[in-house]
Structure 1
Amino acid sequence: MKVNLTEDAIGKRLDQYLVQIIEDTSRTDVQNRIKEGLITVNGNIVKPNYKIRADDIIESEERELIDSEIKPENLNLDIIYEDDDVAVVYKPKGMVVHPAAGHNSGTFVNGLMYQLETLSGINGELRPGIVHRIDKDTSGLLMVAKNDVAHRDLSEQLQNKTVDRKYVALVHGIIPHNKGTIDAPIGRNPKERQEMAVVDNGKDAITHFNVIERFDDYTLVECILETGRTHQIRVHMNYIGYPIVGDPKYGQKTTFKTNGQLLHAGTVGFIHPTTKEHLVFKSDLPVEFTEVLNELR
């Protein structure tokens, strides 16, 4: 993968710059990858303290985990629905969806491998069965493909925007209107490469929202995804001035103990790949989220 250089990259140490723009990594991991030749400059292996130049071509490869490193683990995942083709599974808050450098265990995939006999292989050995993702600190429902035919079908439904994905979020501020649509492109934040932002050259991103309940200084909303960009709801709600409570990247300081953003993927609906039946699944808000709402009420 070619690394796109921003103007502030020139003259910086290679390891310092890359740790800012590569997600889920550390400086030690970046330095090790440079030494192993997984990260190269102009096709050459360089030292971590290499100073970046304007015309450098930097390429980064993911470190492939070997099969033995991805082990099934009994994480007691809550399987809401399962048949021969698909499953709908609840991902708790604080759990990473799939293994990557730095966290090879305790992920949603580790749990799936223990509890489901078969998983699709289209997304590679690190993401078996994974059709779509939600952030580590977002709780809620995920569709899981148990074979490649189902995976292709569900992926196509996502591309065609026919999958129902509804989230519940608590945001700062009182939204005066009952519903709205945010249509604003999302891409990497040029000033902070580990964040996403609304940018002119970003990918199309559309979020619809409905107000559920208003409190003093807060609003509970239902957000409906039309597209599925990284951090989409978090970025969009912040963009219109109502950031999600507890969001460490895009939010404001809060006195509530939230351990991350109060955002819950409460509803997922899709056409079953084989039976063609329209299925809809819902899950309750996690206890932590409910306790905050009770305190506000």
Structure 2
Amino acid sequence: MTTRPQEAIRLVLQISEREHGERLDKLIASRVTGMSRSFVQQMMKQGEILVNGEPCKPAQRVRYGDRLEVYLPPVAPPSDLEPEYLPIPVIYEDDDIIVFDKPPGIVTHPAPGHEHGTLVNALKAIRPDLQVQPSHRPGIVHRLDKDTSGLLVVAKTEPARLALLEQWHSRSVVKKYTALVHGVVEPDSGTIDAPISRDPRERTKMAVVPWGRPAITHFRVIERFRCATLLDVTIETGRTHQIRVHCAFIGHSVVGDQQYGGDRPFCVPVPRQFLHARYLRFTLPSTGQTIELETPLPYDLRHVLEAIRQCEREGVPCSNRA
């Protein structure tokens, strides 16, 4: 019989209808950030994962309504991440979470080629005593691309991180973005429902592929120009590069996105991809209260819009009219 340390954290997961039939170790690794399949399998051997109160095996298939119990080990002390003071505004903080308004050009957490200057390095500088998993990216429950600005939530405690992860997985979090895309988007609103996975021809990119994971993006037109359209975008899922991939898929790549839009010319200079995470609505882990947070477009993107409107008024030819 397994003897668990008192500090072990108990995580309870309920299997949804769309998860019915998935392999158990793969499912847990996908739902709990920072857990690899090999680590999940090791936990199963040690009796730290139960299905409906019973021991389980990695290849076991889950059923709709199954109740999983995962007993996570005590939080490890912080890793040797280097603290760095960076100009990243904090727009909300309580005992459980901290919400940043991430500027463009900053990576969320360290990765090969980006060992320094990340949001996690900044977090280590301003909150050095945090002990939350995973130790190499403490408290991170979602990410923003390097050149995407906007709201990013970080957990300050391990129970808060697990509660937030469950909200993100269950799609109960409302996530809205502002995006400027090439060409004139004709419908006033629409939905892109197309699965996304790693691009089989170029592994550094994502792509819409039949075998991909479900990905759903809703959009609404805010303003149309002769060569571009300003969109309000809401995502149900949170796949890597989802908005950028979906917009390119329908022929309206995000302005300034060189990875998915190529070197597509534009009528005014654009400093980076025009994508801003402007709004979040979720539940605070300890109180259950719903919180809504919003941040306006940063100066660099407002400047782009002002320049486009000036071109429209002056009748400057559009170099990439769709």
Taking structure 2 as the reference length, the TM-score comes to 0.69
CA positional deviation for 1:116: 2.5
4+ aligned runs moved over 3 Å, structure 1 = 117-120
Answer whether contact 1:119 1:145 (CA < 8 A) is retained: no
- In the alignment, what sits opposite 1:257? 269
Pairing partner for 1:76 from 64, 70, 87? 87
CA positional deviation for 1:119: 3.7
Answer whether contact 1:206 1:226 (CA < 8 A) is retained: yes
Pairing partner for 1:103 from 114, 132, 135? 114
CA positional deviation for 1:101: 2.4
The gaps in structure 1 that reach 5 residues or longer are 1-65
CA positional deviation for 1:133: 0.1
Pairing partner for 2:251 from 229, 241, 257? 241
Structure 1 residues 1-20: Cα deviation after superposition (integer angstroms, max 9, x where no partner): xxxxxxxxxxxxxxxxxxxx
CA positional deviation for 1:79: 0.3
CA positional deviation for 1:258: 2.6
- In the alignment, what sits opposite 1:296? 308
Question: 1:181 corresponds to which letter in structure 2?
Answer: T
Cα distance between partner residues in 2 of 1:216 and 1:177: 15
Cα distance between partner residues in 2 of 1:154 and 1:119: 17
Answer whether contact 1:137 1:259 (CA < 8 A) is retained: no
**1:67 and 2:79 aligned:** yes
Cα RMSD after superposing both structures: 1.4
Pairing partner for 2:164 from 129, 141, 154? 154
Answer whether contact 1:246 1:254 (CA < 8 A) is retained: no
The gaps in structure 2 that reach 5 residues or longer are 1-77, 310-322
Question: 1:82 corresponds to which letter in structure 2?
Answer: E
- In the alignment, what sits opposite 1:163? 173
Q: Secondary structure of the residue that 1:200 maps to in structure 2?
A: coil
Cα distance between partner residues in 2 of 1:155 and 1:119: 18
- In the alignment, what sits opposite 1:186? 196
**1:115 and 2:122 aligned:** no
Cα distance between partner residues in 2 of 1:118 and 1:243: 42
Answer whether contact 1:244 1:251 (CA < 8 A) is retained: yes
> Alpha carbons of 1:175 and 1:120: their partners in 2 closer, same or farther (altered >3 Å)?
farther
> Alpha carbons of 1:228 and 1:118: their partners in 2 closer, same or farther (altered >3 Å)?
farther
Structure label with greater radius of gyration: 2
CA positional deviation for 1:121: 2.2
CA positional deviation for 1:217: 1.3
Structure 1 residues 224-282: Cα deviation after superposition (integer angstroms, max 9, x where no partner): 01000000000001111111000011114234433331000011111011111110111
